[in-house]
Amino acid sequence: MVEAVEKDVDAGSWPTGISAITLFVEDLEAGRRFYQEVFGLKIAFEDNDSTVFDFGNTIINLLRTTAARELIEPAVPATREAGSRIQLTITVDDVDARCEELIRRGVVLINGPMDRPWGVRTACFSDPGGHIWEIAK
C-alpha cells in the first residue's frame, strides 16, 4: 500500500519545510515575555489574540486558546493541565553552555543536560503554556 501512495504523490507537491507552528496559550502576555526574554526574539507580528516570532525558516505563532477554537473546530484545544503533546527541538553548539544561559534567564530545566542512548546530548524546559522545548547537540 505504501508503494502505491508513493507512486501517486508527486514529490514536488509537498513543501520541504515547516513554515509555521501555532502554539495555543492561555496567557499570551506571559508567552510573549518568555519568547522575548529566553530566546531573545523580536515580535514579527501581533494582534489581540496572537504574537508571532521568527525562528529563521519557521515562525512560532502564540495564539490565545479562545481564538484557537475557531481555527481548529470541531477539534478543541487541550488545556495545559492535560499534559504535553509536543516537543520542539533546537540544535545548539553547546548544550551545557546554553543551559547555563537559560538558567540565568530564569528558566527551570525539566531535565538535563544529559547524554541520550542514541548519541545526542539534550536538555528540556517548557514555556509558560506548557510546550516542551528541547535543546540538543
Structural domains counted in the chain = 2
Rounded distance, CA 47 to CA 108, Å? 29
pLDDT digits (tens, 9 = 90+) for 84-125: 889 999 999 999 999 999 999 999 999 999 999 999 999 999
The H or E element spanning position 76 is: none
11 part of a folded domain: no
Region 13-27: what's the mean pLDDT?
86
Structural domain for 132, as ranges:
80-137
136 part of a folded domain: yes
99 part of a folded domain: yes
pLDDT digits (tens, 9 = 90+) for 36-55: 999 999 999 999 999 999 99
Dihedral over Cα of 34, 35, 36, 38: its sign: positive
Last residue of a domain, one of 77, 108, 123: 77
Kindly provide the b/e burial profile for residues 110-136, where b requires at least 16 CB atoms within 10 angstroms of the residue's own CB: eebbeeeeeeebbbbbbbbbbbbbbbb
Would strands 43-46 and 50-54 be described as parallel, antiparallel, or unpaired?
Answer: antiparallel
| SS3 call for 121 | strand
pTM, whole model, 2 decimals? 0.83
Confidence band, pLDDT 50/70/90 cuts, at residue 12:
low
Could you tell me if 68 and 95 lie in one domain? no
Would strands 121-126 and 109-115 be described as parallel, antiparallel, or unpaired?
Answer: antiparallel
